[in-house]
Chains A and B, each alone.
Chain A
Amino acid sequence: MAQKSINEKLAILSDAAKYDASCASSGSTKRDSSDGRGLGSNTGSGICHSYAPDGRCISLLKILMTNFCIYDCVYCVNRVSSNVERARFSVDEVVKLTIDFYRRNYIEGLFLSSGIIRSPDKTMEDMVRIARKLREEENFRGYIHLKTIPDAAPELIAEAGRLADRLSINVELPTDQAVKEYAPEKSPDQIRKAMADVKLRQIASKDRSHTGKRPPKFAPAGQSTQVIIGADGANDATILGQSTRLYGSYGLKRVYYSAFSPIPDASSRLPLVSPPLQREHRLYQADWLLRFYDFQLHEITDTALGGNLDLDIDPKLAWALAHREGFPVDVNSASREMLLRVPGFGVKTVNRIIATRRHRTLRYEDIARLGASLKKARVFITAKGWTPGGLTDSADLRGLFAPPPEQLSLF
């Protein structure tokens, strides 16, 4: 077999990596290279250097070290039983590519993942070597995200956490049962234990020793995970239940939802339908409500028919429509908690309303200037010069927001 060129390898190994949704480069420690001895910086907030036509941001060079894999996960394009073309980058090739892309301002850093070759330890060892070379030989101060392999030795995970900004371990599917069925070589226990281990190391890295010395930072941008939506039969309540548990147990920064998308050379065991993008979108909205809007899980899932979120309207609007007895709320006097529940108000809008109403009584026109989406909010609020009248209680209120029903085609 002829040696593949870098270009060919890059094509294969970025194609293999695209099903990982995460591309975040935010939330790490601030650092730069103004001392003139290194390359790169991290401002704390991420930068998206490009956008692909699938609407996803491209912030990092997201590649697999190799797409050879000894596992046979049904949903994965790189499973051992798939016929996709295989390739493997050497350590130096990944390092050079990362530095060359970074110097041209194409990327914020590297997101490195890998198929499992030979053994989990061997694979993790190579990935750590890449990160070490970037940090120690190239003095690279940009962002590094390493996908950790749950079964790898603790020393390797410890070193990975010292070199990388973020570690992630994918839970892959919403239930243990589904993991067993679709990813037979992976163990949900092992994945949870690995996440607990990362959390404990993060806690330990924040403890000063008795001399007041701070231990080295461990994955300062935290850990994240990804779950595939729509490959198994789990409903949204199950998926969000799992996320709540993961956030609560392991202090994850993010749970990414990835709509199961057709892959080349798919397994006969999984139906190839177009990916449930709308469902994915609603799950992210619900996830946000849980994390930033003080919603409890049951409040979101109670209104979900069959445990699934309404695809036509967003989960906050669905909650508001089911709890109209609490509306309309007066923007000039309502509590912060209640303002956060108004559809069309975001956290920033609510903060601005609270800051501004100390100075004046808010009129309807003012609310729009504060960044609210009045198309949704107007039914649920009163302000000086505005009351929704009977609109809040009208029977066909949902029809105002949901897309019109579609006539099914007979043919």
Chain B
Amino acid sequence: MNALAARRRHPAAIALLLMLALVVTGGLYAAFAPKPAAAAAVTADQVEQGKALFQSNCASCHGLNAEGNETEVGDLKAFGPSLVGSGAAAVHFQMETGRMPLASAGVQAPRVNKVKFEETEIEAIAAYVASLGPGPARPDEEWLDWEGQGDAGRGGTIYRSNCAMCHSSAAVGGALTRGKYAPTLAGVEEVHIYEAMLTGPQNMPVFNDMNLTPEDKRDVIAYVKQMQETGNPGGLGLGGYGPASEGMFAWIFGLGIMIGAAVWLGQKGA
């Protein structure tokens, strides 16, 4: 202790302390920083196959090496973002919901029910994109098990303060600016809901694991799924648009049948 105290003003001491602080900070960061989930066993073959598929199907917009591409012809601007760091989850979400490859230029890529690729092909492209740089990987099964482990009540609270302002409290979607929109969540698979939160496709913000933990995401999925399972206990749901469709219904059908009844009764003399 004395020896250490005697050398505390040694010129090297400050450098040593600095080194120590850096090691500690770095070590703590490495220990606690969110890690991209390890990609499922990916073979070199898969990456090769994915690259080939990518170059023939995606490269026209995203560039031959997924570095992104912007072309301008007159007023038309085509923009394919760089996919370095997008991760397997983004590829999986975009392609499995039919959004990519983009069918036509528009304000945003719509969900298309007819998926254009086989599952194995999508896996391969995802593996290729994941190999370009670290990015969010596909979620573990554990985080999708909303039926077994999800807490819908908690998920609803998270949903209302984070999701409802765009997707609406009934999860039927809503309008954004300039023709863009938040799509409905009806019929969306749990894995895609999870991946959408994780990667923030199109206009959606990213809800990474620091914002919403995997448990939070699972609870949100549980809420959305539970709500959809309940359906409409009151009868026809009128699209879930609330007073908008109710008002129209009252004016068109409600008033229509009331006037019909009045005319019918008015014709009945004594």
Question: Does A associate with B in a complex?
Answer: no
Which residues of B are in contact with A by a Cβ distance under 8 Å?
A: none
